[in-house]
Structure 1
Amino acid sequence: MSGPSRRAIILGTGSALPKRRVTNAELAETVDTSDEWIVERTGIRARHIAGEGETTATLGADAARGALEAAGIEAHEIGLIILATATPDQTFPASATKVQDMLGITDCVAFDVAAVCSGFLYALSVADSMIRGGTADKALVIGSETFSRILDWEDRATCVLFGDGAGAVVLGAEEASERGILSVALHADGRHNQLLYVDGGPSTTGTVGKLRMKGQEVFRHAVTNLAAVLSEAVAKAGLETSAIDWVVPHQANRRILDATARKLGLAPEKVIVTVDEHANTSAASVPLAFDSAVRDGRIKRGDLIVFEAMGGGFTWGAAVARF
């Protein structure tokens, strides 16, 4: 049943990282860069790179298993799987259906969402709407990426920035709860395509293509857009910025995180930072950081959290949730 008081609450979180961890020093052996250069500009010290047999779907399934276990939910109870990714296993079918099969679920709604680094926010919003509308009672929302496979490893300005990984949350329906997704704000502006994009695709080149980015211009848009959408989502929830316990941002660049916090007058210690260990994992970045902070005990039940992200498109968004 759907209803005005029905809300999507976060029941559990999970994440997965490829086995191989690559430090800046190791990267500097094959790329013209240095640990100092990367850390100074981005805050990144290491990233995980997918190896043989590790794909967007396998990482997504591992993250989902962790979230199901944390939620105390059996896989067969899931009625909806939304997987956010820009690096699917295949052009089609959706990687969500591969995750569904890996989890042993034979019938549920399953599809992918493509909004690059904002993908998890977009997927969370769709799942929230579908749960409120009664389409499903329990949902898996996953962000999973293998960006290492679309990087130009000779372009030192971009290849040092990204990593692979996955994060997931289990959502459940609850009536008249104070917990759950309180508000979502989403945006897109397609005029900025050429600032962050992949130079290939089935309909244009017939190839996968490689990531291209104009970093300084992306940085400028990111700080402005993220501060604005975070404020918008908080206001939409009828709250003040001062009420926020934690900000879980997209982990693109430590300088973007710091500049956004300053712009909003947020204490740096309220911002969850994992970019140093994970680098930019695109759609996986927000749920990966969220799970890390839940599991190390920083984020606790009842805490007020704001998720925010911006990615190629441009797309950007924020969501407010009471955990």
Structure 2
Amino acid sequence: MTPPLDARLHVVSLGHFHPRGIIDNEFLESLDIGADAKWIAERVGIRSRRTVLPLDYIRTTKNCDLRAADEAAEFTNAETGAEAARMAMARVGLRPEDVGMIISGGCSPRYSTPAEACTIAAELGIECPAFDVSSACSTFVAQIHMLKNMRPEALPEYILLVTAENTTRKVDYGDRKTAVLWGDGSTAAIVSTRIPGRLSVIKTSLQSDPSGWDKVTIPTGGFFKQDGPAVQSFAIRKSVLVIDELCSRSDERIELAGFVGHQANLLMLKAVCRKAGIPERHHLFNVDRYGNCGASGALSVLSELWGDLPVGLICVALVGSGLTWGGMLFDAGPPPSP
């Protein structure tokens, strides 16, 4: 059963960018941190990740000095975010001057101030209102949830949402519990309340439990830390809750064409699908190739499949530090005619 299509917000285009440096499991094994390739694959289901850091830098320093990591990085967040944005704009033929607002956010901004949206806007040569709305790995749903609940006439025709995630700069490569998880990737979405797009936003959900704020952190000037078992249990439980909330109507379950979860690790995602009754053929993911790209992960799955998205309802369930969770139900239309 399909709900009435009362969407007031549309995703017109998506874009993504992953840096060229590849951290595969064999590379991590070579760091001699007590994690061999087989152990990593069995624990998290990730085969490779991308990084803005030179592999020689990681090999020789294990990223022990975060200031040095910022200097060594081959790209800034502004540069990778702008690359994703250029793909999104090119897919629908938009020019920089067509963008009326830029909103950014994510897990590891390059600066405390200014807003990362301003640095991305400068990289793109766009002059428009630019600000950050961030909720860690749940950032994209927070941005969409906010826009969906605003007056459509108050918004510009095209809004650019960007998540520039280069979190390997914040990873201690001497700690096997965190080194095996993270990869870098940036995404961008062109959204509009006036122009129909491939993805129409039907429903959104966003919740927080601030009592768990200390379960996942990146302190200012510090490394990524998390309470792994507690966070995984939380992520599975809340993802299933979001799916039930977005996909239930009266006593019936809406039939999905696709499901995308937070790309934290593949074993967690498979557990969510089992508990939520989502068939393997409807599970869309790329975490096995890119690792945990924070707020960019789920969106990069949709962007990679942009020309081949399943037609019908697609549920996205996200979780993040804070602790936060939420999701979106999209109605995916057919690709435009060539």
The reply to whether TM is greater than 0.5 is yes
Cα distance, 1:42 vs structure 2: 0.7
Mapped partners of 1:10, 1:267: distance in 2: 25
Indicate how the Cα distance of structure 1 residues 176 and 142 shifts in structure 2: closer, same or farther if over 3 A, else same. closer
Q: Please say if 1:124 is aligned against 2:133.
A: no
Structure 2 residue matching 1:126: 3-state secondary structure: helix
**Aligned counterpart, 2:207:** 187
Post-superposition CA distance 1:68-97 (Å, at most 9, x none): 111222221111211121211211101111
- In structure 2, runs of 5+ residues without a counterpart are 1-5, 54-72, 333-338
Of the three residues 83, 86, 97, the one matched with 1:65 is 86
Q: Please say if 1:171 is aligned against 2:191.
A: yes
Aligned length: 307
Mapped partners of 1:165, 1:179: distance in 2: 21
Mapped partners of 1:314, 1:217: distance in 2: 11
Mapped partners of 1:239, 1:164: distance in 2: 41
Structure 2 residue matching 1:88: 3-state secondary structure: coil
- In structure 1, runs of 5+ residues without a counterpart are 202-207
Of the three residues 295, 318, 322, the one matched with 2:327 is 318
Q: Which range is displaced more, 128-137 or 66-75?
A: 128-137
Mapped partners of 2:174, 2:37: distance in 1: 17
Structure 1 residue matching 2:10: 3-state secondary structure: strand
Mapped partners of 2:196, 2:301: distance in 1: 28
Mapped partners of 1:84, 1:113: distance in 2: 5
Q: Which range is displaced more, 247-256 or 132-141?
A: 132-141
Cα distance, 1:176 vs structure 2: 9.1
Equivalent pair of 1:229/1:318 in contact (CA under 8 Å): yes
**Aligned counterpart, 1:251:** 263
Cα distance, 1:61 vs structure 2: 0.6
Cα distance, 1:132 vs structure 2: 2.5
Structure 2 residue matching 1:48: 3-state secondary structure: strand
Equivalent pair of 1:248/1:272 in contact (CA under 8 Å): yes
Indicate how the Cα distance of structure 1 residues 49 and 118 shifts in structure 2: closer, same or farther if over 3 A, else same. same
Equivalent pair of 2:13/2:198 in contact (CA under 8 Å): no
Cα distance, 1:279 vs structure 2: 0.4
What is the alpha-carbon root mean square deviation over aligned residues?
A: 2.1
Post-superposition CA distance 1:4-49 (Å, at most 9, x none): x772211111100112111110121113311111110111000001
Of the three residues 282, 293, 303, the one matched with 2:294 is 282
Cα distance, 1:180 vs structure 2: 1.3
Mapped partners of 1:179, 1:124: distance in 2: 12
Equivalent pair of 2:133/2:139 in contact (CA under 8 Å): yes
Matches within 5 A, 1:257-272: 257-272=269-284
Equivalent pair of 1:145/1:166 in contact (CA under 8 Å): yes
Mapped partners of 1:263, 1:306: distance in 2: 15
**Aligned counterpart, 2:237:** 224
Mapped partners of 1:65, 1:176: distance in 2: 20
Indicate how the Cα distance of structure 1 residues 27 and 179 shifts in structure 2: closer, same or farther if over 3 A, else same. closer
**Aligned counterpart, 2:314:** 305
Mapped partners of 1:178, 1:60: distance in 2: 22
AA partner of residue 309 (structure 1): L
**Aligned counterpart, 1:109:** 129
Q: Please say if 1:34 is aligned against 2:36.
A: yes
Of the three residues 109, 117, 124, the one matched with 1:96 is 117
Equivalent pair of 1:14/1:65 in contact (CA under 8 Å): yes
**Aligned counterpart, 1:205:** none
Mapped partners of 1:180, 1:102: distance in 2: 29
Equivalent pair of 1:183/1:234 in contact (CA under 8 Å): no
Structure 1 residue matching 2:16: 3-state secondary structure: strand
Mapped partners of 2:296, 2:19: distance in 1: 12
Equivalent pair of 1:233/1:319 in contact (CA under 8 Å): yes
Equivalent pair of 1:68/1:74 in contact (CA under 8 Å): yes
Q: Which range is displaced more, 89-98 or 189-198?
A: 189-198
AA partner of residue 33 (structure 1): A
AA partner of residue 218 (structure 1): V
**Aligned counterpart, 1:43:** 45
Cα distance, 1:189 vs structure 2: 0.6
Structure 1 residue matching 2:138: 3-state secondary structure: helix
Post-superposition CA distance 1:282-303 (Å, at most 9, x none): 01111111111224x2x15x43
**Aligned counterpart, 1:204:** none
Mapped partners of 2:185, 2:198: distance in 1: 31
Of the three residues 195, 202, 214, the one matched with 2:227 is 214
Equivalent pair of 2:12/2:199 in contact (CA under 8 Å): no
